[in-house]
Structure 1
Amino acid sequence: MSDLFLKSISHYPLKSAQGLSLTAAHVNPLGLEQDRRWVLVDEHDKFISQRSCAAMGGIHVVAEEQRLTLTFNGQTHIAYANSNDRITATVWGDTVADCWGVQHEVNQWLSASLGLAVKLVYFPDHAIRQVDVVYAGEGYRTAFSDGYPVLVISQSSLDELGRLWGAPIDPRRFRANLIIGGECEPFAEDQWRQVTVGDVIFDLVKPCSRCVIPSLDPETHQQTDGFLRFLASVRRKADGKTYLGQNAVLARHQIVDRKNIAKPENIGMESHGQSIAENAGLLHTKKEYGNAPLESEHREHAKLTVRLGQIVQVR
């Protein structure tokens, strides 16, 4: 295996809207800065994605702190998170309290444009949504991602899928945060336990199971006939699910707890358990952190950053 490097960085400020390619990104315990900090919810405050509203893939967004600029169908609006408008949002059964809404006219415009009643919601820094402790262990959070802060895929995997499909596959279908370039075996990330990019260390904790979204063309937002069947034929495992890429969290020793009592060397970084995915032939790591506090924050004195072209080390 030759030197691996960071080939692509992307973040997705609004869940299920278009992503943005970046040359560098700050990293915190919630993932890449501004990633999945916004979500659309329905009248019952349940999240909406391209699974049920494919047109969302046409929304272009730019995020800056607690402001989101949205462009859709030739119109642009700027949403401002309002801390006085408290909303409880639900994502995959996780109820997230103390989220913030935006001005009514933005919700009206989005609802009219998408043809269904929606509200735009912001995930503030103090909100708590815990990552599945069965896979990652205690003490990790995510915002409005499907379940984990960061998604990693190798370019070799994408190239192999393109070879088998018979045409290049747009990597945007898989909405990864980090794409690792360089020579490695296709789907090598299945076996990686840790990825280091510069000074930033990610623990890979669970393979990413795939839904209908990869079948949607990133340009037309229409389903590509046969793509889901193809992907399942290549990547379906013994548990009946289709996997591609690895979900990741920021390594524990790069996170500082507000109520930190335990020291990193006592946290048990090397404790690994099995999962259904592991039995299906995919690596799964489980960290045992005992009573590690849930609330955590990024080290203020050393802001972690990933940059295109950085050498990547895996183990």
Structure 2
Amino acid sequence: MPAVTALCIYPVKSLKGINVTSAPICETGFIWDRQWMITRPDGRFLTQRQIPKMTLIVTSLPQEALSNEWGQVSPDAALTLNAPGMDPLHVPLKQSAPSEGELKQCTCWEWSGLARDEGEDAAKWLTEFLVKPVRLVRYVGQVSDGTAESNPKRRACEPEFGNGTETMFPDGYPYLLTTESSLKDLNSKVDEPMDMNRFRANIVIDDSVAPWEEDNWQSFTLGGAPDRAVTFHSLKPCSRCKVTTTNQETGAVGKEPLMALGKYRSGKALGWSAMGSWKHEVFFGWNLGADSSGTIAVGDELKVTRTRTAPMTA
């Protein structure tokens, strides 16, 4: 039976992720995943698309923040950023209700709303390393703040596919799943094989499934026992951008895998037409939502409970 081989969270959008052995499921995704993002001074989000050097910044969290006791972290616990030639930056995990002056108008793709500015020390550190004026902001939406659609501190996924699902600062959805078998198939079509980290997945499934079999999974569970299985739904295939062409260890930018994917994983080649733009987009991995709480772990078995009976068409 297919199983989870890797789990990863990315505390700051577009910076290096943290591999974990288990992760609690929260309403907006894995705890801490894309809870922060880097923006221009005017609040517009930035990623490796604009600044490939972002991949050189390493993120780390204290162990208690990565466990089921994450809500009981000590007052001095911090997100730590490290980068070549820089002293570490520490950003406190504990947060009080933000004051009006700490809230900043920000945008992340289609979303425009309020996030907490993490202050001058963080902005100065990131500006110095990235050689570009930037700010660090944090997602502050809470369930008690009203619906994601109505409150400026909360962000809802695309209504066409997300059905009101809330997410923090990933490109669009709470979770991203990929499979090792699909990566192997892609690597057979490029000159230099690439690592899975190019695709910045949260959940990676082993190579016991056929390449691209994940296209057929509409709903599935992950869990080592029925009483702790978590149900996931594949909401939308993940269209890929130039971030995948950035070597995540060096920051060097190339042309693959987009050229290879364009030959057989475009919306046109797959017959996917749910959105007009899909004809010219290329796809690797699936965006997910979860409708149950719990914790998943490396080694958890995947059980498909519902398959997709038709392609992603309008």
**TM exceeding 0.5:** yes
**Partner Cα distance (1:178, 1:70) in 2:** 23
Classify the secondary structure of the residue corresponding to 1:52.
coil
Residues 182-231 of structure 1: per-residue CA shift (max 9 Å, x gap): 42121111111012111111110100001000110111111124432122
**Partner Cα distance (1:310, 1:218) in 2:** 27
Classify the secondary structure of the residue corresponding to 1:165.
coil
Question: How far apart are 1:175 and its partner, in Å?
Answer: 0.3
Greater mean deviation of Cα atoms: 16-25 or 59-68:
59-68
Classify the secondary structure of the residue corresponding to 2:34.
coil
Contact 2:162 2:173 survives alignment (8 Å): no
2:130 to 107, 111, 114: 114
| 1:245/1:227 CA distance change after superposition, 3 Å | closer
Greater mean deviation of Cα atoms: 221-230 or 62-71:
62-71
**Partner Cα distance (1:225, 1:49) in 2:** 18
Classify the secondary structure of the residue corresponding to 1:164.
coil
Q: 2:309 is matched with which residue?
A: none
1:78 to 87, 90, 93: 90
Q: 2:169 is matched with which residue?
A: 144
Percent of matched pairs sharing the same residue = 28
TM-score w.r.t. the length of structure 2 is 0.79
Question: How far apart are 1:168 and its partner, in Å?
Answer: 3.1
Greater mean deviation of Cα atoms: 74-83 or 229-238:
74-83
**Partner Cα distance (2:191, 2:179) in 1:** 19
Q: How does 1:17-166 map to 2 (within 5 A)?
A: 17-63=15-61, 64=65, 67-74=78-85, 75-80=87-92, 83-84=98-99, 85-97=102-114, 99-126=115-142, 127-138=153-164, 140-166=165-191
Paired residue type of 1:95 = S
Contact 2:52 2:253 survives alignment (8 Å): no
Q: 1:9 is matched with which residue?
A: 7
Q: 1:262 is matched with which residue?
A: none
Paired residue type of 2:131 = G
Aligned length: 261
Structure 2 unmatched ranges of 5 or more: 66-72, 143-152, 224-228, 269-278, 307-314
Paired residue type of 1:128 = R
2:193 to 156, 165, 168: 168
Classify the secondary structure of the residue corresponding to 2:280.
coil
Contact 1:150 1:247 survives alignment (8 Å): yes
**Partner Cα distance (1:69, 1:10) in 2:** 16
**Partner Cα distance (1:186, 1:39) in 2:** 33
Classify the secondary structure of the residue corresponding to 1:193.
strand
1:312 aligns with 2:310: no
RMSD: 1.7
**Partner Cα distance (2:53, 2:191) in 1:** 27
Contact 1:79 1:103 survives alignment (8 Å): no
| 1:182/1:313 CA distance change after superposition, 3 Å | farther
| 1:130/1:225 CA distance change after superposition, 3 Å | closer
Structure 1 unmatched ranges of 5 or more: 255-302
TM-score w.r.t. the length of structure 1 is 0.79
* Deviation beyond 6 Å, 4+ runs, structure 1: none
Q: How does 1:205-284 map to 2 (within 5 A)?
A: 205-238=235-268, 239-251=279-291, 254=292
Contact 1:69 1:78 survives alignment (8 Å): yes
Residues 48-98 of structure 1: per-residue CA shift (max 9 Å, x gap): 00000111111111245784211112420112367221112200021122x
Q: 1:191 is matched with which residue?
A: 216
